[in-house]
Amino acid sequence: MKNILVLCTGNSCRSQIAEGYLRHFAGNKANIYSAGIETHGVNPKAIQVMTEDGIDISQHTSNNVDEYINIPFDCVITVCDNANEACPFFPGNVGRFHQNFPDPAKAIGNTAQVMDEFRKVRDMIKIYAEDFVRKHLP
């Protein structure tokens, strides 16, 4: 079984959403982890928009990448440019993948506008996660 890490800056939104969708689409084909260069806690709006799509990430925790240094990852997916640049070295034949998604936590506007941004980013990550599983976890 493959070990896949999703890495972001704060492990609060994008990486949490990606972890939820990768777990959903991969089923028992992979162990999915998410972490951040820092930890900011799981964003309640990320939990909300994932719940709207039938994925429960309410029990996820915000973890620092250093907590996973001893796990032999097969793939590391960075979901923001900052994490891609700050990604630590993982020994072995680790596939590196990168897709920069907008940070919905930085959305401005009224509540409806902010939630629309969270949904937009969620939908982008969902498409990416489904495609990743199809291509890399046959």
Domain ranges of the chain: 2-136
Give pLDDT tens digits for 15-35: 999 999 999 999 999 999 999
> What pLDDT score was predicted for residue 91?
81
pTM: 0.95
- Looking at residue 138, what is its pLDDT? 81
Please say if 75 is a catalytic residue: no
> 2-136 domain in CATH 3.40.50.2300?
yes
Whether the per-residue pLDDT at 103 is higher than 90: the answer is yes
In this structure, are residues 76 and 7 in contact, taking their beta carbons and an 8 Å threshold?
yes
For the question of residue 8 being annotated catalytic, the response is yes
- Tell me which of 6, 8, 47, 79 is the catalytic residue: 8
Catalytically annotated residue among 2, 63, 64, 87: 87
Instruction: Please pick, among 32, 80, 121, 129, the residue that the annotation labels catalytic.
Output: 80
pLDDT tens figures, 35-62: 999 999 999 999 999 999 999 999 999 9
The whole-number pLDDT of residue 98 equals 96
What is the average pLDDT score of the chain?
95
Q: SS3 for 135?
A: helix
* Residue 13 annotated as catalytic: no
Q: Which parts of the chain fold into alpha helices (H)?
A: 14-26, 44-52, 81-86, 111-136
